[in-house]
Structure 1
Amino acid sequence: MNQATVVLGAQWGDEGKGKIVDLIAAQQDVICRCQGGNNAGHTVVIGDVAYDFHLLPSGIINEDSLSVIGNGVVIHLPGLFSEIAANEKKGLRNWQQRLIISDRAHLVFDFHQMVDGMEESSRGTKNLGTTKKGIGPTYSSKAGRSGLRVSDLLGDEQAFRERFMKLGRHFERLFPDADLKLESELQTLLQDYRERLRPLVRDTVALLNKQLSLGKKILIEGANATMLDIDFGTYPYVTSSNCSVGGVCTGLGIPCRAVGDVIGVVKAYTTRVGAGRLPTEQLNDIGEKLQTIGKEYGVTTGRKRRCGWLDLPVVKYTAMINGFSALAITKLDILDSFEELKICTSYLKDGNPIDYFPATDEELRQIEVEYVTMPGWCCDITGVRSYNDMPVNAQKYIEFIRSSLNVPVRYVGVGPSRDSIIEVPQ
């Protein structure tokens, strides 16, 4: 059986996974999404065009490959078709022949999104920073075995009506003041989306396993990132799916032995959207400079990202969980104008180093960080296209990451476009 390549975020998301996926996708037969929903965002820049993907696999730009939305993804149909239309205007072509959606994927309804917003508002100052896209309530419905899947919408209409109204009324009882507009949404799903969706739907479990047996090249792109994983992330400030390597098998129905190369994407500094502790956060001019130069705003929400120095304990932790076989270091060029750089090398608790990542936000707030200081390179590297042509101090920065993690660095990103990814000699 052939083995798939997996691309995963190694921090709190927004690492630039889309660019790495786009680079690798050119040589792939199938590109897959395995978890999450339209709470994630990938940007792919080709020439002067920036494509924004939320539910679509960002590898859909490759017109010679299939793009699969797996069973572990939760799908808001109005969001999906709006995303397709927006990217068609930018140049996306022939997607109808290449996009395949799992019949087992769960559906995100408008009332899930409304409930998500109301639940978040009810938390007040202790909000989790959700995207209010309905992801949490949908996965909750799924886990409670009351959710509805793509296959339900395409199946018996009366059965779908009954289950939809039963689920919606459950949320009405929880939020009696909310106008969830259940009947209106039901009619829209049945009249506007049911038949538009039908030609795209297949049993993707059988499809992917057949592709593997035929030796086809498969690329799996993770949404969100490992530090947002529902089990291993900084709970409760996480997403509602497994966005570490385990989500690949459960979200696509392929065996563990089919997972091959696992590439961890690491931003050259650290960012985070929403609430929760960010140990290396810089609430000062440095943080503002990183945010401004890096254009650190969320693709999905537009929210400003919090910024700090590179946090190696985080990446060590995610490398351990995912078994990264290689790293891609992105947005290195954002550090071009810094005369001095810092890298967090360890966490201290009560003055002593710890060899684990804290399980609670409370404990994480008790730790102190230990830094090493490195000289910057103070020049523009966006035009560099060979690793050997990079400034010596930039190479030292990359080498320090590699040696600290004991994982080879395969790619370095020095700009937003497809040709700004440098392959590192091994």
Structure 2
Amino acid sequence: MMSASRKAPVHAVIGAGYGDEGKGVATDVLAARYGSDAVVVRANSGAQAGHTVTTPDGRRHVFHHVGSGSFAGAATYLGRRFVSNPMLLGRELRDLALKDVRPCIHADARGLATSPYDMMLNQFAETDRAGGRHGSCGIGFGETIERNLVPGFAFDLDGLRDPEALRTRLDRIRRLWVPERAARLGVALDEERLRLVASDEILERYVADAQDFLASVDLVEGAAALPDVPLIFENAQGLLLDQDRGAFPFVTRSNTGLRNVVETMREIGAARLDAVYATRAYVTRHGAGPLAWELRGQPWPGIVDRTNVPNPWQGTIRYGLLDLGVLADAIRADLGDADGVVVEPRLAVGCLDQIEGAARWVDDGEERTGSAESLLAACSRRTGFQDLQVSRGPDRTSTSETAFAV
């Protein structure tokens, strides 16, 4: 067990599926306990995340960079393993300002920054894959990580501070890295694509976006700068997309469970964690890749999802039945990464209000039907978690706690 120097509680919200499990709502519920005393920590993924929060007064936002506790007043910390996108943060902040939210954002200066060339390479490659797409959303997250493995082309958030040095690094990336990486990916750089890569306007726009990013975000030297206040790690994607445990190549370039959380906890001297594993009452998946017990459409016809609309990169969201064996195995494997941290796990089950008639799920390889309460009892039995957080609506007022005998 790790020795602890911090006293304030530490929570984590972790998706137990392929993403879209209700992590935004679960984070908002926790943040509402503490208000402006809390900090939401983004410890993995990047701006491709989309966590939806609806407030009791009807305001709604899909969070990308900013933590989903912002409506409740929590600050945001972008951790070392979070990949920032200076081209996209400004748009999110303007949208939040219209909803009377002006978040306080800090970021680890060691965190990586996506360049326009990472996005281009990502989109070129995914376009050329045609029917063999990997399910990428075109934001350049994985390409950012790949580029930063090569020192001559790498830069972190600290590298945004000097505009002239950044301009020189970007020019080197577009001249040398893009053709080299495109060749490895088998991407054809036709005249139109080469014009985009060579555009000085795009380069200069990025330099300006980087300075706007720095004006909105306070860079700090590591997680040790985090105050001893309640922390809420808001993970992105889900355990079944983890780069080390998912079905390659249909994974994210990230560890989606405890690993990055534990790494940060070691850095700040925290030893105990309340971990909320989130799932819907059914399963969804974006883009290509395996999906067991996949359905031809929505499990219930009345489901309305304003966030996951069809898009040119990942197409239409897919649906499947919740397999409790897969759920329990994924959580059990993730808990093996606790590495000295004392973890108190529980399960959050959302979208129960969307069930029409009987609930449907899979247990021991067979489809089951029953009431929503029967589904919750089965979830408790298979995971071994007595305490469940259940959500029957879009906002925190529809969330409650329930317990089952295990």
Smaller-chain TM-score bracket? 0.7 to 0.9
Q: Does 1:407 align with 2:385?
A: yes
Structure 1 residue 321 corresponds to structure 2 residue 340: no
Contact preservation (8 Å) 2:299, 2:320? no
Contact 2:15 2:235 in 1 (8 A): yes
CA distance in 2, matches of 1:322, 1:254: 20
Q: Separation in 2 of the partners of 1:10 and 1:263?
A: 9
After the TM superposition, which residues 389-404 of structure 1 pair with which residues of structure 2 at under 5 Å, given as runs?
A: 393-404=371-382
Which of the residues 346, 357, 360 maps onto 1:342? 360
The CA distance in 2 between the partners of 1:39 and 1:129, in whole Å, is 12
Deviates more, 1:404-413 or 1:38-47: 404-413
Deviation beyond 6 Å, 4+ runs, structure 1: none
Select the residue among 245, 251, 259 that pairs with 1:238.
251
* Distance change >3 Å, CA 276–CA 196, structure 1 → 2: closer
Match of residue 129 from structure 1: 135
Q: Secondary structure at the match of 2:237?
A: coil
8 Å Cα contact 2:109-2:222 kept in structure 1: no
Unaligned 5+ residue runs, structure 2?
1-5, 183-187, 336-343
Contact 1:71 1:252 in 2 (8 A): no
- What percent identity do the matched residue pairs reach? 24
**Residue from 273, 276, 279 that aligns with 2:292:** 279
Partners of 2:277 and 2:346 within 8 A in 1: yes
What residue number does 2:85 align with?
Answer: 76
Q: Distance in 2 between matches of 1:244 and 1:252?
A: 13
Aligned to 1:355: none
Do structure 1's residue 371 and structure 2's residue 366 form an aligned pair?
A: yes
**C-alpha deviation, 1:116, in angstroms:** 0.6
AA paired with 2:59?
Answer: V
Partner of 1:85: 94
Q: 1:305 to 1:408 in 2, by over 3 A?
A: farther
Partner in structure 2 of residue 201 of structure 1: 218
**What SS does the corresponding residue of 2:33 show, helix, strand or coil?**
coil
Counterpart of 2:160?
153
- Deviation at residue 121 of structure 1 after TM alignment: 1.6
State the distance in 2 between where 1:99 and 1:328 align.
27
Partners of 2:86 and 2:213 within 8 A in 1: no
Q: Distance in 2 between matches of 1:181 and 1:256?
A: 46
Task: Give the 5 Å matches for 1:350-369.
Answer: none
Once residues 42 and 219 of structure 2 are traced to their aligned partners in structure 1, the CA distance between those partners, rounded to angstroms, is: 15
State the one-letter code of the partner of 2:40: I
Q: Identify which of 168, 183, 201 aligns with 2:174.
A: 168
CA distance in 2, matches of 1:291, 1:185: 44
Aligned to 1:37: 46
Q: 1:81 to 1:400 in 2, by over 3 A?
A: same
Residue in structure 2 matching 1:307, options 319, 325, 349 = 319
Match of residue 59 from structure 1: 69
Are the aligned partners of 2:106 and 2:220 in contact in 1 as well (CA < 8 Å)?
A: no
C-alpha deviations, 1:37-64, integer Å up to 9, x for none? 121101100122211111111112222x
Any residues of structure 2 matched to 1:219-298 within 5 Å, and which?
Answer: 219-250=232-263, 254=267, 258=271, 260-283=273-296, 287-290=297-300, 292-295=302-305, 298=308
Contact 2:86/2:209, CA 8 A, preserved across alignment: no
How far did 1:125 drift? Answer: 1.4
Cα distance, 1:185 vs structure 2? 3.0
Assess if the C-alpha contact under 8 Å between 2:142 and 2:253 holds in 1: yes
Superposed CA RMSD: 2.4
Question: Which residue type is aligned with residue 270 of structure 1?
Answer: V
Q: TM-score, structure 2 length as denominator?
A: 0.84
Task: Give the distance between the partners of 1:293 and 1:318, measured in 2 at CA.
Answer: 26
The letter of the residue matching 1:87 is: L
Cα distance in 2 for partners of 1:12, 1:25 equals 24
Give secondary structure in 1 for the equivalent of 2:347.
strand
CA distance in 2, matches of 1:316, 1:282: 21
Specify the code of the residue in structure 1 equivalent to 2:211: R
Contact 1:32 1:220 in 2 (8 A): yes
- CA distance in 2: counterparts of 1:394 and 1:135, whole angstroms: 37
Q: How many residues align?
A: 372
| Residue 124 (structure 1) shift | 2.2
Partner of 2:69: helix, strand, or coil?
Answer: helix
Deviation, 1:186, is 3.0
Q: Structure 1's 17 and 77: CA in aligned 2 closer, same or farther, altered over 3 A?
A: same
- Report how far residue 22 of structure 1 moved: 0.3
CA distance in 1, matches of 2:224, 2:252: 28
Corresponding residue SS for 2:279: strand
Q: Residue in 1 aligned with 2:185?
A: none
Once residues 135 and 163 of structure 1 are traced to their aligned partners in structure 2, the CA distance between those partners, rounded to angstroms, is 19
Q: CA shift at 1:105, angstroms? A: 1.4
Q: Quickly say closer, same or farther: Cα 1:36–1:79, change in 2 above 3 A.
A: same
Q: Which secondary structure state, in structure 2, belongs to the residue aligned with residue 278 of structure 1?
A: coil
Query: Cα deviations across residues 198-244 of structure 1 (Å, max 9, x unaligned)?
Result: 46222252444x52xx4x21111001111111111222111111111
User: Against the structure 1 CA distance between its residues 258 and 66, is the aligned structure 2 distance closer, same or farther, given a 3 Å change threshold?
Assistant: farther
Distance 1:193 1:162, change over 3 A: closer
- The separation in 1 between residues aligned to 2:166 and 2:272, in whole angstroms, is 35
